[in-house]
Amino acid sequence: MASAFEVLAEPRRREILDLLRAGERPVGYLVDRLRLSQPAVSKHLKVLREAGLVEVRHDAQRRWYRLRPGPLAEIDAWLDPYRRHWSERLDALESRLDAMPDEPNTPDP
């Protein structure tokens, strides 16, 4: 099974997850929004389903997909040190800017 990183390397799969953030959606909705063929969307959904990022619910002839955010924790954990690094850097920049004297207002020539 592919990791969440590998699965989300494909931009269309990220678009699908973005669309599913708002809630459960039928395949037809995804096809319309992505402007892809139904078989192409189904292939992406299969990869996302196998990675555990989405789950499907059958309702008669319709398939409804919803986001499963759990596997995204792998990516969140990987990003955490980078997030902390930038937070520390931005805090240092803020402190530096706060320590600088304000420039006096000069009239326009």
Task: Give me the mean pLDDT over the 74-86 stretch.
Answer: 86
CA 40 to chain centre: 20
Which domains are delineated in the chain? 4-67 (1.10.10.10)
Residue-level pLDDT at 64: 97
Helical axes 38-50 vs 27-34, angle rounded to 10°? 120
Residue-level pLDDT at 90: 83
Residue-level pLDDT at 84: 83
Strand-by-strand arrangement of the 62-67 sheet: 25-26, 62-67, 54-59
40-57: per-residue pLDDT in tens?
999 999 999 999 999 999
Residue-level pLDDT at 78: 85
pLDDT exceeding 70 applies to what percent of the chain?
Answer: 94
- Show Cβ contacts of residue 58 under 8 Å, excluding neighbours closer than 6 positions: 64
